[in-house]
Structure 1
Amino acid sequence: VGVWVLVIVAIGPLAGKFEAAQENDPADYLPGKAESVKAIEVLENFPSGDVVKAVTVFHREGGLEGSDRATIDQARAAINSERREGVDETGPPVVSEDESSALLITPITVEDGTNEAGRLLVDATDDIKGELQGLPAGLEAKVSGPAGFSADAIDVFDSINGTLLYATALLVLVLLIIIYRSPIFWLIPFFSVLLAELTSRGMGYLLADAGVTVTGQSGGILPVLVFGAGTDYALLLVSRYREELRRHEDKHEAVRVAMRKSSPAIVASGATVMAALLTLTLADVTGTSGLGPIGALGVGLAMVSMLTILPALLAITGRRAFWPFVPRVGSEGVDETHGTWSRIAGWVGRGPRKVWIGTIALLLVLCLGLTQLNSDLTSGNGFRNDVDSAEGQALIEESFPAGTDSPTNVVVTDRSKLDVVREAVEKAPGVAGISPRVEEGPTGAKLEVTLDQDPLSTAGFDLVPGIREAAHRAGGEAALVGGPTAEEFDLRESAARDNRVIVPIALVVVLLILMALLRAVVAPLVLIGTVILSYGAALGIATLFFEKVFDFPGIDPTLPLFAFIFLVALGIDYNIFLMARVREETPANGTRGGMLRGLAVTGTVITSAGIVLAGTFSALAVLPLVTLTEIGFTIALGVLIDTFIVRTLLVPALVLEIGDRVWWPSSLAHRDPE
């Protein structure tokens, strides 16, 4: 306890700085080697290198009236009269050919990659919105463009940490009270998890300060991981402690035995989750690779907290903390011959082959939802609520080329090739036009290309390869294609690469840890196979919900990888908890007896842990971003499938079918049947 007091005193004050250390500029998510990033680096020295444009669109169905034009001029004058430092003058309105819309473009000079830059974008766009009040009836006005989209995203991420922390903490608190049915005891694990969460935020700040990219998305997922994993470990340890209190009068002896029996499974579980998360550091996508160390740090601190401060508090408070259901020596508790889980174990034991065949068939049917998988979710349609930037983009598309507010940049570092590159790009599919103005910089020239598709849509992204091919054919290495559309294209390409590379590596890492824990080869292969099947079922049914029920435009390209890492790492937890107990029971009772006894004894605690973990991830649904909602829903669903189908039915049935051979090549595989 004293050590934790010192840790909180040293690290606690840094927790409040965690949000300020997060980076939410779109470039913070980009793969470092991408062509669009190279274009950003070249453009840093251009006059417009630090300029982000806010595009205010005015629109009236049937055409702008004379009074509308006067209103637009007044709005422009008001915007220019009270400009913040860094906000440049708004130019004259650009009216569409059909005269139904007009654009005001406000350049905002920011220092990329800093929190001050993000705050300036939010404040500047808010100032513009403040001047759009009291418009004539029928005249719409929205703030869009790169500055508008960035400001809306930053606004969302700024609200994530506090909202999610409170929602997750409240949910865990309620579930602990329900699980323990005690007005007192819930405080002990809840306090232990809070210490881990506070420490993880402080350490997260130090990681960010050391150069690790911590995005708002990673910061939002961190408390979910800490609360979910920490509470799971607490439930496992407390369950074993309560079991030992019925065997030992001395509370200290009960704690010692509980720690000796449960800590290997907790350490193996924590190591599995941490190792799986650390494979994310191999990702090309910077935002994804940053989640690896911050997530592993959070889970590690949750594990350490449950193995240090929690046992200390249990030894201090003793059995009385369980009031009114105090475990006494010799009193009845969960055992292998009574209760619901004993009956479930007996049912599985009477027909294991029918159980595993039926269960696998059900999961394969759920996997069919994967046929509906699409990645049409983008940064342009990724908000659950209506936002100005997305609504403004829709208005722009009605009267202007869709890419007017977010042009694609073609940077030519060899000026002698500028004309041939321009000519080639103009003929590329999807190019609506190229601005006659060429911006000169110390390292070349920049062309602004307007697309005929929404620049933040999959149709827009599909145009990037053709534009790059045309630019490279004419300018070779001297031509770089960047801008918002190219950046998101590169992000999606790298996400696809990360899926191909990281998934098999994570599987191998988890498999090796399972082999070390169970000292076997067959059992870990069985467990890995069941978790993969569970993952496919969870993603399949989640995809159907996103498509048919929630009416989301698609899934985020990073969802399959995030869901895989979390479900394989966290889903395997319950198999670890179960199989560690089965292995403990097998020498005395055989594989069949060990499985039936292990399932009966661990059923309640693992089910409680699964419900808590699913609940913590479902807390992501309170956030207004489709991506985080999809991550939370998919993982919560997958955890429930693991808890109620895979761990309860499939794994026990397969182990009973395989028999002692499941422990091969350990000595348990060759034990005497007698």
Structure 2
Amino acid sequence: MDEGIETRGRWRPSLLPRAYAALVVGLRWFVVAGWAAAAIASVIYLPAVGQGGSDLEQLVSKDNPAINSELRSFDKFGFPLLSRVAVVQRNPQGLPEQARTAALERAQAVSDGTYTDAGPIRAAVPVMNVKGLFPGSEENGTTIVTYLFTNPDVSFAGQVKAAERFVQAHYGPDDAVVGVTGSVPARVEQARIVQSSVSRLELITVIAVFLIVAVAFRSLIAPLVALAVAGVATLLTLHVGGVLALKLGVPVPQETQPLLVALLLGVVTDYVVFYLAGVRRSLAAGETRVEAARQATARFTPIILVAGLTAAAGTGALVVAGSPAFRAFGPGMALAILIGVIVSVTLVPALLAIFGAAAFWSPLGRRPLVDTEPAGSTWWARLLTRKWFAAPVLVLCTAGLVIAALPLQHIRLGVSFVDALPADRPARAAATAAETGFADGILSPTELLVEGGGIAGRPDELNRVQQALAKEPGVAAVLGPSSAQLPKGFDVFRAGDGSAARYLLILDTEPLGARAVQTLDRLNRDLPGLLAAAGLENTQASLGGDTAVARVVVEQTKSDLGRIAIAALLANLLFLMLFLRALFAPIGLLACSVLAIGATLGLTTWLFQDVWHADGLTFYVPFAAAVLLVALGSDYNIFGIGPAWREARTRPLREALALTLPHSARAIRTAAITLAVSFGLLLLVPLRPFRELAFALATGVLIDAFIVRSLLAPALLSVLGSTVAPEPVAEESIPEQMGSPTR
């Protein structure tokens, strides 16, 4: 394993890196003891990430128009029309009349307060797929969905527990209960799945990282060093993140924990690998363990710091987003990277100064500490740096990435909860039963609130609105002021003061999926004309419900794209410019990263939407993946192009690339495999958003390492040549650069 920094050049570390290396190596025992104590104390005294908040309402902005519409509806009517928890009863052969009667009596008892054990449940409204009662249903008398309404201050988990207790106490075998479902139970179920998957994910990722590092260094101790450092960084991130969530009031969703673990294990292992390779080379040259640790620390600490700060700045750029979901996601990722960097640049040098050659011990016997260049490893680098060869490589790589990115123009975004669950989960099974008996949108109806003076007393106009809504594409059924044979207590479509009317719309697609969001987006545009055509010109209309909330979240996500992209790209460009002390080369390198990200998201869209027919990608996946890949791509820019750039101050850029590329490309590919495996193992979390993230991140890292850094970027610099090369300096006047290796 070569360390990716050419060690045969003319550079040696400057005074500050050498002084830092002497300090941290000299205090090695105190450093190790200090980090061990910090990790133990964080577990004992600090809360874990996720305790700062995980409910959906904490990730939706308070000024969301859909939420405001629901609040105004409650104020007008004194009773909510929407519920996000439901009990599903189903018998494909038909529910007995006794079950239907019991459902109505049970609901009335809850609303009257007869059931004293109902707890926070204040009302229950059953809806049956009886012909004439529920329009749009293809079945008759097979399914009952009873919506449960609880106090607004009850947590999501509390609502689900209350519903489950209610079913256990007041439903019998003849009621054919399938289960409790809805967007709230689905959200709670997702959190349970994530928490139950973390331990297994950590174990398998640790095993994978151990094997990769063990094979790379042919040692059993080297991977233990990497995992020890990654473990300390992970513990501190999860617990410090929990403290910040509580102190700053920024929710850190529990669902981010697997991603934090994968990110830390991958990134920290990358940094450790570079230190390990540097120490091995110095030991092979005859240095003592302490001196070898000093040299590796002085050479690589500045580069790792710049790379880590670049990655942290890129992910931290999400803080500029308007969406609370992104504002919560960004700082958590940036914090993870920063803690990983701090732990790496202190704990790794200390451990390697203690272990020395023992870090490369193998049970197969003592091996000589050599770091030879494999035969024939440089011919392709020399070939790639010839303009006549680099130009077609540049064209082919660019064309391939552009073609891979084409599906991105058809990307759709949704906010699925129930649909993201595995098919065997209770909430998903109950949802499937309800959708089969009614329509896909039955569990999360959309509420249309129409406000205007005296509107409740205009039945003809209200009827025309209801008929027009029923004809809208994507709407399976409409309940409203004109609906007949409604259950007792459900006819709440006209406000008592006559100033408002409301409708319940059931869509014919998964209510939080991309198609439902598009349906509601179109309906929102059509509403002014629809109301005017019905004779209700001077009225105000608004939409509420899960789909309406999802629509606003998706719109907000799209509007955030510009701010996030500009902030992330500028942050990464700034660090690249400072590190390379150039302008045009960083722009070209960043353009290569953008091409790789476009190809990654295009392939992700193609796989999930076109091949697996998912109803759009989860709204945050493309943006979170893009920001992480920009940041990590800049890491590889620094590790890969940095050595060539410094060599190019004393020789032509083409020669510098040919000299350094074999080492840097091999190191980056090894590091990328580790990172890709860490991200790819997110597949172990059986939720669709994690599968989307796993594929996007793993694919993006591999494209970046094997295509962009190994082929596209060197070909680009070779073609541009002297137009982007750094200014040459005389050898005798070369200043000592930070982190630069020596001959």
**Are residues 1:20 and 2:51 paired?**
yes
Letter in 1 for 2:382: G
The Cα shift of 1:326 comes to 6.7
The Cα shift of 1:479 comes to 5.3
**Are residues 1:345 and 2:391 paired?**
no
The Cα shift of 1:582 comes to 1.4
Q: Which one of 478, 483, 501 corresponds to residue 432 of structure 1?
A: 478
Number of residue pairs matched by the alignment: 662
**What are the superposed Cα offsets for residues 528-579 of structure 1, whole Å, 9 maximum, x if unpaired?**
1111111122222233322455443332232221221111111222121011
Question: Alpha carbons of 1:372 and 1:38: their partners in 2 closer, same or farther (altered >3 Å)?
Answer: closer
The Cα shift of 1:293 comes to 0.7
The residue matched to 2:648 in structure 1 has which SS?
helix
The Cα shift of 1:239 comes to 1.6
Letter in 2 for 1:374: R
CA contact (8 A) 1:345 1:599 kept: yes
Paired position in structure 2 for 1:599: 661
**Are residues 1:30 and 2:64 paired?**
no
The Cα shift of 1:320 comes to 2.1
**What are the superposed Cα offsets for residues 33-91 of structure 1, whole Å, 9 maximum, x if unpaired?**
32123335557878657994532233333533457658979998999979463234655
**Are residues 1:235 and 2:291 paired?**
no
Letter in 2 for 1:61: P
The Cα shift of 1:401 comes to 5.8
Superposition pairs for residues 556-571 of structure 1, below 5 Å?
556-571=618-633
Q: Which one of 117, 121, 133 corresponds to residue 155 of structure 2?
A: 117
CA contact (8 A) 1:132 1:141 kept: no
Paired position in structure 2 for 1:165: 202
Paired position in structure 1 for 2:638: 576
Q: Which one of 263, 276, 283 corresponds to residue 301 of structure 2?
A: 263
The Cα shift of 1:276 comes to 1.1
The residue matched to 1:185 in structure 2 has which SS?
helix
TM-score by length of 1: 0.86
Paired position in structure 2 for 1:198: 235
**What are the superposed Cα offsets for residues 337-380 of structure 1, whole Å, 9 maximum, x if unpaired?**
x4464343234245322322332233233223435533367334
**What are the superposed Cα offsets for residues 503-543 of structure 1, whole Å, 9 maximum, x if unpaired?**
13311221111001111112211211111111122222233
The Cα shift of 1:450 comes to 2.6
CA contact (8 A) 1:64 1:99 kept: no
* Structure with higher RCO (Cα < 8 A, 6+ apart): 2
The residue matched to 1:663 in structure 2 has which SS?
coil
Question: Alpha carbons of 1:118 and 1:202: their partners in 2 closer, same or farther (altered >3 Å)?
Answer: same
Instruction: Give ranges in structure 2 of 5+ residues lacking alignment.
Output: 1-30, 132-138, 482-490, 734-743
Question: Alpha carbons of 1:284 and 1:252: their partners in 2 closer, same or farther (altered >3 Å)?
Answer: same
The residue matched to 1:18 in structure 2 has which SS?
coil
The Cα shift of 1:327 comes to 8.0
Letter in 2 for 1:449: L
CA distance in 1, matches of 2:70, 2:520: 16
The residue matched to 2:216 in structure 1 has which SS?
helix
The Cα shift of 1:497 comes to 1.1
CA contact (8 A) 2:576 2:634 kept: no
Letter in 1 for 2:517: F
The Cα shift of 1:274 comes to 0.9
Question: Alpha carbons of 1:121 and 1:364: their partners in 2 closer, same or farther (altered >3 Å)?
Answer: same
Paired position in structure 2 for 1:177: 214
The Cα shift of 1:490 comes to 0.7
CA contact (8 A) 1:57 1:101 kept: no
Paired position in structure 2 for 1:155: 192
CA distance in 2, matches of 1:40, 1:73: 25
Q: Which one of 515, 519, 522 corresponds to residue 584 of structure 2?
A: 522
Which stretch of the first structure deviates more once superposed, 600-609 or 484-493?
A: 600-609
Superposition pairs for residues 64-213 of structure 1, below 5 Å?
64-66=95-97, 83=117, 85-88=119-122, 90=124, 94=128, 96-97=130-131, 99-112=140-153, 117-127=155-165, 141-209=178-246, 210-213=248-251
CA contact (8 A) 1:230 1:306 kept: yes
**What are the superposed Cα offsets for residues 160-192 of structure 1, whole Å, 9 maximum, x if unpaired?**
544443343333233222322212222112101
CA contact (8 A) 2:268 2:344 kept: yes
CA contact (8 A) 2:123 2:150 kept: no
Paired position in structure 2 for 1:214: 252
Letter in 1 for 2:314: A
Letter in 2 for 1:503: A
The residue matched to 2:619 in structure 1 has which SS?
coil
CA contact (8 A) 2:448 2:502 kept: yes
**Are residues 1:11 and 2:57 paired?**
no
Which stretch of the first structure deviates more once superposed, 403-412 or 198-207?
A: 403-412
**Are residues 1:58 and 2:89 paired?**
yes
The residue matched to 1:451 in structure 2 has which SS?
strand
The residue matched to 2:617 in structure 1 has which SS?
coil
Letter in 1 for 2:181: S
CA contact (8 A) 1:412 1:418 kept: no
CA distance in 2, matches of 1:141, 1:71: 16
**Are residues 1:308 and 2:346 paired?**
yes
Question: Alpha carbons of 1:671 and 1:504: their partners in 2 closer, same or farther (altered >3 Å)?
Answer: farther
CA distance in 2, matches of 1:169, 1:111: 42
Question: Alpha carbons of 1:227 and 1:187: their partners in 2 closer, same or farther (altered >3 Å)?
Answer: same
The Cα shift of 1:409 comes to 3.4
Larger radius of gyration: 2
The Cα shift of 1:655 comes to 1.9
CA distance in 1, matches of 2:448, 2:81: 16
Question: Alpha carbons of 1:653 and 1:419: their partners in 2 closer, same or farther (altered >3 Å)?
Answer: farther
CA distance in 2, matches of 1:270, 1:618: 21
Paired position in structure 2 for 1:511: 573
Question: Alpha carbons of 1:176 and 1:77: their partners in 2 closer, same or farther (altered >3 Å)?
Answer: farther
Superposition pairs for residues 286-305 of structure 1, below 5 Å?
286-305=324-343
Question: Alpha carbons of 1:254 and 1:35: their partners in 2 closer, same or farther (altered >3 Å)?
Answer: same
